[in-house]
Amino acid sequence: MKREEVLSQYKWDLSSLFPNQDAFDENIRRCEELLTALKQMEGSICKDCESFIAYMETSEAFGSCLDNAYVYAKMCCDVEPEKALNQQNLAKAELLINTQQSELAFVDLELIRHKEIVDEYLKQPACKDFRYPISCVWKTIPHRLDEAGEKMLADMQDICDNAQRTYQSWRVTFKDVMVDGKP
């Protein structure tokens, strides 16, 4: 049975994420703008509490924007993998993820370098929502490399993900197996 033959009540309704392609494309543009804004904060995230809050809020907005784009694109590909537009949308979302990993590799190291200052910021009520995500960064301290090593790992992520993406995009079809004369 083809997807267009299925009653709409039995299909995923992804319009709550994006009602149309234009809305998805606008979200991608918004993600790119937020990523640019985050990259421009390099070296000044911990300058003062306001800068720290601005970074954390922008990072949270970017994460939400990117999550929506990826989930939508991935679910559309799961439903109609042969549709070229779905594959293109997924590629856009994955490119943003890889770009983020590479261009924002500096963030955790910058926060770690200013750990004492950040810990002071986190004592303020305006920063209470950032305590958990920052505590996750602090847990990684013993496992961190220098800036060059972290940047190299971030840049290699795309290459490391190629095998998984290839496997996920491979759609194998099999002929029916007959059991007792029935497919």
Q: What is the pLDDT of residues 112-167, one digit of tens each?
A: 999 999 999 999 999 999 999 999 999 988 888 887 887 787 777 767 766 666 66
pLDDT at residue 161, rounded to an integer:
67
Specify whether the CB–CB gap between 31 and 96 falls below 8 A: yes
pLDDT tier for residue 170 given thresholds of 50, 70 and 90: low
- Domain residue extents for the chain: 17-169
Specify whether the CB–CB gap between 46 and 110 falls below 8 A: yes
pLDDT in tens, 63-109: 999 999 999 999 998 888 888 999 999 999 999 998 998 899 899 99
| Widest CA span in the chain | 75
pLDDT at residue 38, rounded to an integer:
97
Label residue 43 left, alpha or beta by phi (over 0 means left) and psi (-120 to 50 means alpha). left
pTM passes above 0.75:
yes
Given a cut of 90, whether residue 7 has pLDDT beyond it is no
Q: Across all residues in the chain, what is the average pLDDT?
A: 89
Specify whether the CB–CB gap between 103 and 109 falls below 8 A: no
Specify whether the CB–CB gap between 169 and 87 falls below 8 A: yes
Residue corresponding to tokens 């290459």: 159
pLDDT at residue 116, rounded to an integer:
96
Given a cut of 70, whether residue 16 has pLDDT beyond it is yes
CATH class of 17-169: mainly alpha
Count CB-CB contacts under 10 A for residue 102.
16
Specify whether the CB–CB gap between 46 and 111 falls below 8 A: yes
pLDDT at residue 167, rounded to an integer:
64
